[in-house]
Amino acid sequence: MPPPRPIVVVAEDQPELGQVLADVLGAEGYDVVHVRSASEAREALKEKKVAFMVSDLSMASHAGHDPLTALTGDFPDMPVILIQDPRADDIPFFGPWRKDGTRIMLRRPFRLDDLVAASKEIYGEQSTTI
């Protein structure tokens, strides 16, 4: 019996984009849970053993000092791939919340290959052997 597929939460409020991200990550061997709000993201983290998250940064941008608090809540060490609009330069990417590669920023527009590469970096090469 093969090992279970790693679970990824995709927090994206645009349904079409969320589906594209879910399809790409699903093809890479992940089980994807697509949520459309920060509160749904926190619930998914509580209910499932999540390997990492992919999130639209606008969901987290008003959370205070740590822009991920709204998303990760009780899971501050959750690895996250953030998607940021190019005009959102006021978000402190290199602030105290960027810890040793557990957070990766993709600026729009980005290539889907960049998402795949980021997922392999943040989760590890084991995702290609699933």
Domain that residue 37 falls in: 1-59
pLDDT at 88 over 70: no
pLDDT at 35 over 50: yes
Q: pLDDT value at position 87?
A: 62
The predicted structure's pLDDT at residue 98: 53
CATH number at residue 37: 3.40.50.2300
DSSP element (H, E) containing 8: strand 7-11
**Tens digit of each residue's pLDDT (9 = 90 or more) over 107-119:** 888 899 999 999 9
* Residues in a beta bridge with 84: 107
pTM more than 0.85: no
In a domain, 29, yes or no: yes
Give domain status of residue 104, yes or no: no
Residue 49 located in a structural domain: yes
Of 14-23, 56-65, 102-111, 117-126, minimum mean pLDDT range: 56-65
Contacts of 85 (CB under 8 A, 6+ apart): 57, 58, 107, 108
Q: Is residue 21 part of a domain?
A: yes
